[in-house]
Amino acid sequence: MTRTFLVGGNWKMNGSVKSIESLTGALNASDIVEGTEVVIGAPAVYIPLLAEKLRKDWGVAGENCHDEDSGAYTGEISAEMLKDVGAKWVILGHSERRNIFGESDEFVAKKTKKALSVGLKVILCCGELLEEREAGATQQVVERQLKAVIDILPNEKDWENIVIAYEPVWAIGTGKVATPEQAQEVHKDIRAFLSRLISAGAAENTRIIYGGSVNEKNCAEIGRKPDVDGFLVGGASLKPSFADICNAMK
């Protein structure tokens, strides 16, 4: 199977009505290589605007959601709410959610199951801290994070609407980038892990994308690796040059 290359943008806590109208105007006019899927994650308050303004062949994602339908969770957003205002995807398990807001592997897993149940597709993030990489624990950390999800979504069919984003935390927003060889090594190991715990089909079909200081200058070399199926882009997704990253495989 040929996996469809996917480029995701994660705006994080950035944006305004003015900047979104300007950026979507530039991106909508860009010439993107056929066959690349593009998804942009925006703050929840801007999802309706983004869904309205963004070209219709691209997807819109929430940046987080809760695992409950509704309730006394002040400030939280449910998966149903995201879908209701135009999101088709949600980003879950981002290192900032795990390491700043203390989300556990199990909570991320519950949110993943919930999002899938309402028809959202999921970009599921995993990745290690610098001290974990230096201790040689990269794969141990990544497998622990993914296993929590596999434990409650154990079937191959469950993974048809999940994209795994490997994001080494030490490379997010730091300007440091995993070498193409480092990215390929981890992606290959993740694929082998999926094969062992779920099935060979899940390993072959699940897209594994790379995130961590990706920009228009380094994306092509990383994207050529056989187990790298795209990117999750942070700061660079807030610029018109994001279109160049979307064209990494042109």
Virtual CA dihedral for 232, 101, 193, 207, nearest 10 degrees? -20
Asked if 125 and 91 count as a contact pair (C-beta separation under 8 A), the reply is: yes
Output the DSSP codes for 55-69: -TTSEEEES---SSS
Phi/psi for 104 (5° steps) reads -80, 165
C-alpha–C-alpha distance, residues 225 and 208, integer Å: 11
Scan for tokens 């979307």, then name that residue.
246
For residue 167, indicate whether it is catalytic: yes
Query: For this structure, is 187 an active site residue?
Result: no
User: Which of the following is catalytic: 63, 66, 80, 94?
Assistant: 94
Residue with tokens 């596999």: 150
Tokens of 148: 């929590």
Structure tokens at 8: 């995701």
Contact 198, 154 (CB under 8 A): yes
Dump strand ranges (E) for the chain: 6-10, 37-41, 59-62, 89-92, 121-126, 162-166, 208-211, 230-233
- Which of 63, 128, 167, 187 is flagged as catalytic? 167
- Cβ-contact 168, 133 below 8 angstroms: yes
Question: Three-class SS of residue 42?
Answer: coil
User: Which are the catalytic amino acids?
Assistant: 94, 167
